[in-house]
Amino acid sequence: MDNSENNHQTHQKKLSTSAPLIVLVGFMASGKSSVAQALAKRWQRAAVDLDVLIESTARKPISEIFADSGEEKFRQLETAQLRQVLEDAQPGVIATGGGIVTREENRVLLRTAPKTLVVYLQASNETLTRRIRQQPGLRPLIDGESVLNLQQTQLRVEELLEQRAPLYEEVADFTLKTDGLTPSEIAEKILRKTDPLPS
């Protein structure tokens, strides 16, 4: 058995026996959903995406929730789902929406949840802007009002990131710089850092 396989098994055992939740936070398009999938596959646990839960509860896409009921209503649904998944405490990975940290109530939930590791996936303004522009219309807080050009998107990302970066740091047990890494490389780094896991 080579070393990487050995490490793989050691990590899996630690993760399974400690049965924690790993919560991914970070800006829009920082890769939370794809990393959650990669991590869950590697760890053989479920991945839960809060945005998907919100959409299936509301029976409409997030862009429509924002358009029909406004951001405040979306935030209420988001807090309710966060509270629920943390209470359920099923071992697994939770991908959150980029604005989860904007409510103090959510930050307290994240900081105080037992056996829960919160990881901040950090990406540069350039990476985030490029990815957001590849999926136009998906993010109401960026391009919900009008179509933005590259510079306008970059400014919007910069503005929101400046407000939110300290909040991601506040709730995170650790931060990972993700530029240039694939979801499975990021998942691997998270597994390496979870030693020892919180008890």
Q: Which residues in this chain contact ligand S3P in the complex, by CB under 6 A?
A: 28-29, 32, 51, 62, 97-99, 139-141
Rounded to whole angstroms, the Cα distance separating 45 from 57 reads 22
CB of 30 to ligand S3P, least distance (A): 7
Nearer to ligand S3P, 51 or 188 (CB): 51
Q: Which is nearer to ligand S3P, 20 or 98 (CB)?
A: 98
Q: Which is nearer to ligand S3P, 64 or 88 (CB)?
A: 64
The C-alpha atoms of residue 116 and residue 77 are separated, in whole angstroms, by 21
Shortest reach from residue 112's CB to ligand S3P, in Å: 22
Tally of CB atoms within 10 A around 196: 7
The conformation of residue 25, written as its DSSP 8-state character, comes to E
Q: How far is the CB of 62 from ligand S3P (least distance, A)?
A: 5
**132-135 long-range CB contacts below 8 Å, 24 or more apart?**
132/28, 132/29, 132/157, 135/29
What is the residue type of 102? T
What is the closest distance, in whole angstroms, from the C-beta atom of residue 78 to ligand S3P in the complex?
7
CB of 28 to ligand S3P, least distance (A): 4
Which residues, 6 or more positions from 51, have their beta carbon under 8 angstroms from its beta carbon? 33, 62, 95, 97
Q: Are 36 and 93 in contact (CB under 8 A)?
A: yes
Kindly tell me which of 18 and 175 has the beta carbon lying closer to ligand S3P: 175
114 versus 137: smaller Cβ distance to ligand S3P: 137
In 39-166, beta strands by DSSP E: 46-49, 92-95, 116-122
Nearest approach, Cβ of 97 to ligand S3P (angstroms)? 2
Cβ proximity to ligand S3P: between 11 and 97 the closer is 97
Residues 92, 193, 33: CA angle, nearest 5 degrees: 40
